[in-house]
Structure 1
Amino acid sequence: MDPTLSLSNQINLTKSLLIVICCFLIYHLILIITQRWTKIKITFPDKPSRLANGETVKGVITRCCESLENGFRASWWLPNGHAQTIYSATADFSKDDQITYHRQLLRVPDGGTIGLDIYPSLSTILPSDAPVILINHGLTGGSHESYVRNMVVWLTKPVSEGGFGGRAGVVNFRGCASTPLTSPHLYSTGSTIDLHTSVLYLSTLFPSASMFGVGFSLGAAVMTRYLGEQGDRCKLKAGVVLCCPLDMRVVTYGLDSPHPLTRLYSLSMSHKILRSIVPHLIPSSPLSHPTSHLHIHLPEIMSLTRSVRRRATLKASKMLELVACTVGGGSDLFPFETLDGFLSWSCPGNWIGAIKRPTLAISALDDPIVSSACLPYKAIRQSTHFVLATISQGGHLGWFEGPLFGKDKHERWHIKPTIEFLKGIQDISDSTTYKTDSDTLEIRRVGDWTWVGDVGWLVLDEIDEEGWTAPKEDGILT
């Protein structure tokens, strides 16, 4: 073999590889520059209802949400949705937004336990009309998640420091964030009882406070459904839903795509569900009882924990079929015969038209988990109070806009429009008569139980969160 010819081939191959790399870098540089300056698109209702001061939700956003007008400029070192999503799930946020919650455990009539983490604690005195914000975490998450802590810190900061000056209550769904699992069913996008109970409980503690809701990912889906279910009776004055999977079928079946990164997200989501449920499958657990709908699937679920090969090929749709379809709520509809039936029933987008409180949804078009295909623009335009802001970048629960180094490295953009929007609605509440029949609660005490209508709770022993070891943050989908 001619060594000169071999060397020539190597040089040509190297040149070709360099050309490909340069083209790839130039393409992505152009993509980064053009996307970083793309304006935010806002979809408003075609026939919006008037709020208490005569404005529409469009008027509030135009008047108050300067950040939506200015747009989002992604960190140059996190140029696309995959980078933002993976960084959000894997970076070290342990030194950020360190807070100590006051945990309140609530037992509900179906036997379930809700872990409500409150900040600042109930012993901290705030003005009687300081707003109260209910926060829903993402799939298998909790109050310990970095994106939740970041939101809590800003919502509870004084207004003079750019915050909302409120008190936050993070609803840890049953079985999440070290909340005891004491019921024969879990939670899902179709179950709102944990949120509803938490809203009413905090309403009894702070009757003069305006209440608001913020939800992330799966928690955003629960928040959207709750706002729709409650309609005009809703205790929440407004809601913000971030990265909300408004069409569950599109999101779930989209995760079955063979694309390598999509496969990674699906696998991560599956493992999060598996890891969250297995510790609760001890013999004394209500999920393991022969009367539990999950009992028939226990052999298959336990086999997954023992088979590396099966876990490596697991899909999100399979875990939803095994778990969410059977014990994803306490309704008589469970267990669902098919995954499609469950996804249709639990789809939060079905409730958009029933929402009667100003609601701002923020989604990234490059979100690799909650894709743009699941955004129901027609339903939004036909609604009266629901507004959607779509941003070209941000990924799933990312929206990082800080520098590569420094104290602002983990700055998240979505905090700004959230606080601006809630402040705008709070101003209306303060300056007008913004009361409804639901603002007066008829509270009944039966022994140690408290009842508001047909919703009841028993306050268990308080647990001070000092020293509480939060679950490790891991996985992609949160």
Structure 2
Amino acid sequence: MPLISSTYKPKGVFKNGHFATIYSAKLRPIPKLKQQRERLKLDDGDFLDIDFSFSKKKTQKIAIILHGLEGNAQRRYIKGQALQLTKTGWDVAAVNFRGCSGEPNNLFASYNAGKTEDLDSVVKFLQDKNKYTTISLLGFSLGGNLMLKYLGEQKIISKEIKKAVAISTPLNLKGTLESLSNFDNWIYRTSFLHNLRKKLNIKAKQFPDKMSAAAVKQVKSLLDFDNVYTAPAHGFKDAYDYYKQNSSKQFLPNITIPVLILNAKNDSFLTADSYPYKIAQNSKNIYLETPEYGGHVGFHQTNKIYYSEKRAANFLNEIH
């Protein structure tokens, strides 16, 4: 308790983790969702762009959604989840991390898997609107790690935050880096690295005193990227220090609200640490569901609605 027996059973080729992952990210028809962008100016001179979508009925509930590495609030999985939540009585604030909204952010530092102060800024921004009595959090992949760290590192979380859901979430960042280095994950790491290097080139032009073209050329792997940019830009000694300090598994025992972790067993991004069975068994708040299938954010049910989207909405609407 609370280990959850999953009912998710996809059909045919969707049992293949790689097919489910790639189809869901690149081939699924884009869910039709109206979004309204609002810019949150941060105290350090930077900004976050938040894409809102709204329930047809007036509501005092809002869900904050956090995307994964090199994602944004227009990704299929974000729009699909937001659409299901708005249909079940929630407003949605889908956050674009710094530098992920289609415009470079203002500072040399950007986002990472543990930058929880930005999530806290979004929570306070919504509280200042004084419209919502219930806030839920929902994070995918890197965003799920950030969200779990936020919930576990806070001595006291805001009373409006009631529940959270983490989907396809690495709880050990070093383990996931090593998994992405495996041969069968070449397509994902190649895509991530291509996008990250493009952003690093922009940073080098913005801040030539902090990042040289020669340094960018040294980045030939995800580990290189974190050593050359992520760690020094965000105050860590090196990549491994960054992974150690920000991996969310260590924060799970401190979480005080109901949280669902939905991680597929055939998710090629994840290692054993991302299936915290013992922690869930000894917790009143960590609900762990580990279906056999689903890949990485690939819980296909139909093109219109994914199992993860329905499961997350149901969890947030249940009374615990």
Could you state the TM-score of these two structures normalised by the residue count of structure 1?
Answer: 0.62
Letter in 2 for 1:249: K
Aligned match of 2:33: 99
Please say if residues 151 and 255 of structure 2, whose CA atoms lie closer than 8 Å, have aligned partners that are also in contact: yes
Aligned match of 2:60: 130
Q: 1:322 aligns with which of 228, 233, 248?
A: 228
SS of residue in 2 equivalent to 1:77? helix
How many residue pairs were aligned?
Answer: 319
Aligned match of 1:210: 134
Q: 2:191 aligns with which of 257, 268, 273?
A: 268
User: Aligned in 2, Cα 1:254/1:92: closer, same or farther, shift over 3 Å?
Assistant: closer
Q: Does 1:338 align with 2:268?
A: no
Q: 2:298 aligns with which of 398, 404, 424?
A: 398
Show CA shifts across 1:329-380 (max 9, x none): 4xxxx1x233211110111111101111110000000001124453333333
Aligned match of 2:285: 385
Aligned match of 1:79: 15
Counterpart-to-counterpart distance in 2, 1:411 and 1:156: 13
SS of residue in 1 equivalent to 2:311? helix
Counterpart-to-counterpart distance in 2, 1:146 and 1:354: 32
Letter in 2 for 1:167: D
Q: 1:113 aligns with which of 44, 47, 55?
A: 47
Aligned match of 1:225: 149
Please say if residues 134 and 214 of structure 1, whose CA atoms lie closer than 8 Å, have aligned partners that are also in contact: yes
Show CA shifts across 1:384-440 (max 9, x none): 4112110110000101123xxxxxx35311112211111114xx6xxxxxxxxxxxx
Please say if residues 97 and 149 of structure 1, whose CA atoms lie closer than 8 Å, have aligned partners that are also in contact: yes
Counterpart-to-counterpart distance in 1, 2:157 and 2:60: 21
Q: 2:165 aligns with which of 229, 240, 264?
A: 240
Aligned match of 1:172: 96
| Alignment gaps of 5+ in structure 1 | 1-42, 45-57, 59-67, 158-163, 305-309, 403-408, 429-478
Please say if residues 214 and 220 of structure 1, whose CA atoms lie closer than 8 Å, have aligned partners that are also in contact: yes
Aligned match of 1:420: 314
Aligned match of 2:74: 144
Show CA shifts across 1:250-280 (max 9, x none): 11122223x2x22332222222322334334
Please say if residues 216 and 243 of structure 1, whose CA atoms lie closer than 8 Å, have aligned partners that are also in contact: yes
User: Aligned in 2, Cα 1:262/1:70: closer, same or farther, shift over 3 Å?
Assistant: closer
Structure with higher Rg: it is 1
Q: Does 1:299 align with 2:214?
A: yes
Aligned match of 1:352: 252
Aligned match of 1:458: none
User: Aligned in 2, Cα 1:206/1:279: closer, same or farther, shift over 3 Å?
Assistant: same
Counterpart-to-counterpart distance in 1, 2:190 and 2:72: 20
- 1:232 deviates by 3.6
- 1:77 deviates by 2.6
| Alignment gaps of 5+ in structure 2 | none
Please say if residues 267 and 316 of structure 1, whose CA atoms lie closer than 8 Å, have aligned partners that are also in contact: no
Counterpart-to-counterpart distance in 2, 1:264 and 1:208: 41
Counterpart-to-counterpart distance in 2, 1:249 and 1:339: 9
Q: 2:113 aligns with which of 186, 189, 196?
A: 189
Could you state the TM-score of these two structures normalised by the residue count of structure 2?
Answer: 0.91
Letter in 1 for 2:19: A
Aligned match of 1:12: none
- 1:230 deviates by 2.5
Aligned match of 2:83: 153
**Higher mean displacement: 144-153 or 201-210:** 201-210
- 1:383 deviates by 3.8
User: Aligned in 2, Cα 1:281/1:390: closer, same or farther, shift over 3 Å?
Assistant: same
Counterpart-to-counterpart distance in 1, 2:6 and 2:167: 18
SS of residue in 2 equivalent to 1:419? helix
Please say if residues 115 and 179 of structure 1, whose CA atoms lie closer than 8 Å, have aligned partners that are also in contact: no
Please say if residues 356 and 385 of structure 1, whose CA atoms lie closer than 8 Å, have aligned partners that are also in contact: yes
